[in-house]
A = this chain, B = another copy of it.
């Protein structure tokens, strides 16, 4: 069972928009045992889309298209699909009703012809009703090959994938079971890790694949298994994990959750033990808080945070003494620890984490080298910090500081 995802839109090919739809779709397909063979982004151009469809049909069973279903002249996916299937576009009354009802809900002006035309679909298509937007999803078949066309707006696409596409694919195809387990490994470079586990890796059975995924100072080791016997795959992967862990005992830190969020692991643990968190950020500028609050349920454990970006704000908002800053520099262990301790008090939380550093490109308010970062953890009973140098690339310094802060926090809350 193979699939190809084709994303349509000039905005992708000029780099104006990052294609996040493909990763979402790929992850969902994987969960039901469909492997994605290829992801292809093509222009809003009929000839190009036709070529991509033909190419995909020769390689895979399921072709999922996103984009090009809007009401404007650059949206040509429907016309192109009709041509590919030697079909014509006909008005679908249920879709028209849906458009009218969305119009009404949003108190919009009169329907224009371009809005009515969104109810046109190829006559051979089964409509996948879009409950959150005006562009319908479409399902077309050619023998055992399935073509699915979805809107490019991420939340409309997601709703259709979850509510229509996955159930229909599970109905139509007999899919194998796919399992990925990702181990988090800290403190080993890619090649050192590879050398350490080489004999184990070479002895992996054919149906289990291994991948190394470095990510800003942590390494993810992904084991993937695939087959029709679910229990067998689970057992085989479990066995391999039991074999590899003794080889990386000191560096193995746990498993990445299904969605790849380390912050979700922390969130679940804090919720479970009924403890709260506060965050004081300087160089990470709100990114830690944003990561936690992106997931629902954050109010269960997150009291909040401060972004004390300017030096003066560390004094005004976090009540750090000017003397501590002047004596040690604003980028120092002392300031990081005071930030963590004071934000803990301010928010009355059980745990607090802080970052202060210089992400560059210029030196700013301290003499610390670009890339210098201190991360501190405070609890009701103590405080400690670590000192890092993350190089001179701004986004990388911020991302590495975020990852280190998560790593330190994770270690702290799992102590108990």
Q: What residues make up the interface of A, taking CB atoms closer than 8 Å to B?
A: 10-20, 22-28, 30, 35-44, 48, 52, 55, 70-74, 108-109, 112, 114-115, 132, 153, 155, 180, 182, 189-192, 194-195, 201, 209-214, 222, 224, 260, 279, 281, 284-290, 292-294, 296, 298-299, 302-310, 312-313, 316-317, 346-348, 359-362, 364-365, 391, 393-396, 398
Contact = CB atoms under 8 A, between A and B. Distances in A.
Q: Which 6 interchain pairs have the tightest Cβ spacing?
A: A285-B293, A286-B289, A15-B27, A15-B26, A286-B286, A286-B290
Most buried by B among A74, A182, A362: A74
Does more than half of chain A's interface fall in helix, strand or loop, or is it mixed?
mixed
Contacts of A12: 22-23, 26, 39
Given A190-B72, A192-B109, A192-B112, A304 B308 contact: yes
B285 A307 contact: no
Contacts of A222: 11, 16
A401 to B, nearest CB: 12
Given A14-B36, A307-B306, A364-B299, A287 B290 contact: yes
A400 to B, nearest CB: 11
A123 to B, nearest CB: 24
A139 to B, nearest CB: 21
Contacts of A189: 108
Contacts of A109: 192
Contacts of A14: 26-27, 30, 36, 180, 224
B303 A310 contact: yes
Contact of A22 (B15, B153, B307): B15
Given A40-B40, A213-B16, A305-B306, A346 B317 contact: yes
Nearest to A16: B260
25 contacts: A12-B22, A13-B39, A14-B26, A14-B30, A14-B36, A15-B23, A15-B25, A15-B36, A16-B23, A38-B41, A38-B48, A38-B52, A70-B212, A71-B194, A155-B393, A279-B307, A284-B293, A286-B286, A286-B289, A286-B290, A287-B293, A289-B290, A299-B365, A303-B309, A312-B348
Given A13-B26, A312-B348, A294 B304 contact: no
Contacts of A299: 309-310, 364-365
Contacts of A364: 299
B287 A309 contact: no
A114 B55 CA distance: 37
B294 A307 contact: no
Most buried by B among A52, A287, A288, A348: A287
Most buried by B among A40, A298, A305: A305
Contacts of A73: 194, 201, 210
Contacts of A52: 38
Most buried by B among A35, A306, A364, A394: A306
Contacts of A312: 303, 348
Contacts of A359: 296
